[in-house]
Amino acid sequence: MIKADFHTHTTYCDGKHSPREMVEAACQRGFTDLGISGHGLSVGEPGFGMSQADLDQYKQELYTLRQEYAGRIHLYIGIEVDCLGPVQEAEYAIGSTHCVEKDGELIIVDDTEEQLRDGVERLWKGNWYDFARDYFQLEATVYERTGCDWVGHFDLLTKFNEGNRYFDEERDEYLEPALAAMKHLNEAGLPFEINTGAISRGYRTSPYPSKRLLKELCAMGGRIMINSDSHSRENIGFGFSQALKLASDCGFTRITVLKPGGGFREVGLEEFRV
Ligand SMILES: [Zn+2]
Ligand SMILES: [Zn+2]
């Protein structure tokens, strides 16, 4: 059995708790494996994410914690790199697309709803499908740009779209570029994470990616992980029973997890404790 979460943040970026507090909380709650994945630098946002010096210190602190907690938990030292950001390295990298560039401007898709709505109004003349096409065309390049190990929150652009408020996630205009990006990244061999982060933060009622997209991924023979993207110790493993049920409903029978010492392995859904 494994109880694991590989996408979490600490005070080295925008998380609320220190690496030690996160590791301690995970141990107390019976996690066997924890990955910490601080944000790397992104473009156009000075001050956000870890500088190279921060990253060096972060890795050092996590190495020390790994030694200290050996035998209690497997600790993995990762980074969440942005599609447009510089390539920074750790033991593993989650490739995430948080912003899109249009007409020389950078639009962050998951910061505030107002900011995103305003950006789509101005730069895509209010056409959310044109915006989605640009988003997924960029996302399709995340592996080539960053060399990441898996895809973080694939359809992050739906963060504020609960109830299809701005666009219809079932429409071909939306699905066609999304599936093209998914197919490309799946062919590169990358797993996709089911990410519960927006549920814990109250923006969504279901994880990323949407059920529709996950079913397509399953049909493509794709691989999934289950991660919380937690920014505080209380949210490690948040919503994993819902994510596991979603995986099962979409036809998946296995979950991809990190292996101590490097690389991935696959476990059956029934081996993944939530
Ligand atoms: Zn992210
Ligand atoms: Zn994250």
Distance 175 CA to ligand 2 centre (A): 24
**Res. 30 pLDDT band, cuts 50 70 90:** very high
Closest ligand to C-alpha of residue 231 is 2
Give the fold, CATH level 3, of 4-271: TIM Barrel (3.20.20)
Q: Which pLDDT band holds residue 48 (cuts at 50, 70, 90)?
A: confident
How far is the centre of ligand 2, averaged over its atoms, from the C-alpha of 7 (Å)? 6
Which ligand minimizes its atom distance to the CA of 152? Answer: 1
CA distances from 26 to 72, 194, 230, 271 (A): 10, 19, 12, 18
Cα 77 to averaged position of ligand 2 atoms, centre (Å):
14
Question: What would the pLDDT profile of 228-273 be if each residue is shown by its tens digit?
Answer: 999 999 999 999 999 999 999 999 999 999 999 999 999 999 999 9
Place 44 in a pLDDT band, splitting at 50, 70 and 90: confident
CA of residue 73 to ligand 1 center, whole Å? 24
% of residues, the chain, pLDDT over 90: 97
**How many angstroms separate the alpha carbon of residue 59 from the centre of ligand 1?**
19
Please give the distance, rounded to the nearest whole angstrom, from the Cα atom of residue 203 to the centre of ligand 1: 14
Q: What angle do CA 199, 19, 144 make, to 5 degrees?
A: 65
Instruction: Give me the chain's average pLDDT, please.
Output: 97
* Beta strands 192-195; 74-82: pairing state: unpaired
* Whether pLDDT at 67 is above 70: yes
Cis bond upstream, residue 19 (ω within 30): no
Q: Are 13 and 38 in contact (CB under 8 A)?
A: yes
Going from the Cα of 37 to the center of ligand 2, the distance in angstroms, rounded, reads 7
Separation of CA 8 and ligand 2 centre (Å)? 6
> Residue 86 C-alpha to ligand 1 middle, in angstroms?
15
CA–centroid distance, 4 to ligand 2, in Å, is 16
